[in-house]
Amino acid sequence: MATRGRGTQDITRDVARIVGDSRVRDGLATVWIHHTSASLMICENADPDVRRDLEAFVSRLVPDGDKLFVHTAEGDDDMPAHVRTVLTQTSIGIPIADGRLLLGTWQGLYLWEHRTSAHRRQITVTVIGE
Amino acid sequence: MATRGRGTQDITRDVARIVGDSRVRDGLATVWIHHTSASLMICENADPDVRRDLEAFVSRLVPDGDKLFVHTAEGDDDMPAHVRTVLTQTSIGIPIADGRLLLGTWQGLYLWEHRTSAHRRQITVTVIGE
Amino acid sequence: MATRGRGTQDITRDVARIVGDSRVRDGLATVWIHHTSASLMICENADPDVRRDLEAFVSRLVPDGDKLFVHTAEGDDDMPAHVRTVLTQTSIGIPIADGRLLLGTWQGLYLWEHRTSAHRRQITVTVIGE
């Protein structure tokens, strides 16, 4: 999956399609991201300002170029990306009912790219059930 | 499940009952909350001051009415509730052994309401095993 | 598992061995830590400075002896340990493919001891699949 640098992208439909193709009716879909500078999040999917505000909040909480950090060889945004990943999710288990992800009305699943530059990111969905 | 506004409530017994009713002896119980302004947490269950202090810490970390936020139409506590949810858990997978949740002595499972007003919150428990 | 006080230790191989012994080829390994003052994290496994910087960041974010905290009977580092646990993971579900943990190249699984003194910590790995 290609990202365009720091920010979130909705991957709910991609994961829903994998669940649909699996033919599992009831069970669990566990989403995994194979990286330590990008993460997963469940977030409100109606108003894009919510993701904007999340980005603003986390950027203030974990500022790029913080003098605290020693690991700076890969850029000012690299160590903050690791911190952001640790404070959010690498793995999320979502229930499946009637062959669909059992998400709340306002829940979307997002890939959160924490590096400022574009990256390719790999995600695995493990579907368990019957 | 009804909440009384911002704060935590112990849902360990509710989830334990669902696991007991499932007749699964060994496996995994994945707890899911269907919202983006309330979350789940595993926390020390002995001294209520621990949850009080967690609430105080998170209230200071993510202050209501922060001028940083643009998404304010639903109230001063709404965007902070989304941030608190993203920094905690929407999904928790707990092992089951001998038909019981394999919790540590001091571990309790809590629903954390992040909105200041009372809400109804939906939780799904997916039990997998044999 | 014995810790030497605050800091991280790589438990990737321990969990990989349990998965290997289970004979499960494809499925999910859910790692659970039975405590509320130590947690789990997926982190970059190449440069030890990344974990050093994470420790520095979290120590600044959740300072020991913070006057905000009421729950202080067990020491200045106890309530911060609970906060650190809530902000990171108690449960992580990792996919299994071909009998192995499907980790990204730079992903390691760490036990994060948040108390300053050494502790014994219990971890359970639930392996599901076939």
**Residue B41 Cα to chain centre, angstroms:** 4
Chain A closest-CA separation from residue B45 CA (Å): 23
pLDDT tens for A99-112 read: 999 999 999 999 99
Q: Which two tokens stand for residue C105?
A: 């190249």
According to the model, what pLDDT value does residue A107 have?
Answer: 98
The residue ranges of DSSP E strands in C36-106, in sequence order, are: 38-44, 91-97, 100-101
- The answer to whether C126 and C32 have CB atoms below 8 angstroms apart is yes
Q: Dihedral (C-alpha) B34, B126, C88, A4: value to the nearest 10 degrees? A: -60
According to the model, what pLDDT value does residue A100 have?
Answer: 98
Tokens 């449960």 — which residue? C91
CA–CA separation, C41 and A58 (whole Å): 19
**Residue A55 Cα to chain centre, angstroms:** 13
> What is the chain B residue with the closest CA to A49?
B71
- The answer to whether B103 and C34 have CB atoms below 8 angstroms apart is yes
CA-angle at A28, arms to A24 and A29, nearest 5°: 90
**Closest partner CB to A126 (pick from C27, C41, C47):** C27
Phi/psi for B41 (5° steps) reads -155, 145
Chain B closest-CA separation from residue A110 CA (Å): 11
Cβ atoms within 10 Å of B2's Cβ, excluding its own: 9
Percent of chain B with pLDDT over 90: 100
According to the model, what pLDDT value does residue A90 have?
Answer: 98
pLDDT, mean over chain B: 98
Written as one string, the DSSP assignment of chain B is: -B--SSEEEE-HHHHHHHHHHHT--SEEEEEEE--SSEEEEEEE-S-HHHHHHHHHHHHHHS-TT-TT-S--TT-TTHHHHHHHHHHSBSEEEEEEETTEE---TTEEEEEEE-SSS--B--EEEEEEE-
This prediction has a pTM of 0.98
- The answer to whether C127 and C29 have CB atoms below 8 angstroms apart is yes
Phi/psi for A57 (5° steps) reads -65, -50
According to the model, what pLDDT value does residue B43 have?
Answer: 97
Cβ atoms within 10 Å of B119's Cβ, excluding its own: 16
Phi/psi for A48 (5° steps) reads -60, -20
Residue C58, classed as helix, strand or coil, is: helix
According to the model, what pLDDT value does residue C126 have?
Answer: 98
- Averaged over C79-106, what is the pLDDT? 98
According to the model, what pLDDT value does residue A39 have?
Answer: 98
Closest CA to B35 of A5, C35, C11, A42: A42
Percent of chain A with pLDDT over 90: 100
> What is the chain C residue with the closest CA to A37?
C44
Q: Rg of chain C's alpha carbons, rounded to an integer?
A: 16
pLDDT tens for C24-69 read: 999 999 999 999 999 999 999 999 999 999 999 999 999 999 999 9
According to the model, what pLDDT value does residue C35 have?
Answer: 98
According to the model, what pLDDT value does residue B94 have?
Answer: 98
CA distances from A5 to A13, A109, A120, C43 (A): 21, 18, 10, 20
pLDDT tens for B46-72 read: 999 999 999 999 999 999 999 999 999
With a cut of 70, which residues of chain A have pLDDT below it? none
pLDDT tens for B101-117 read: 999 999 999 999 999 99
| Subunit contact B87:A92, Cβ cutoff 8 A | no
**Closest partner CB to C57 (pick from A32, A83, A85):** A83
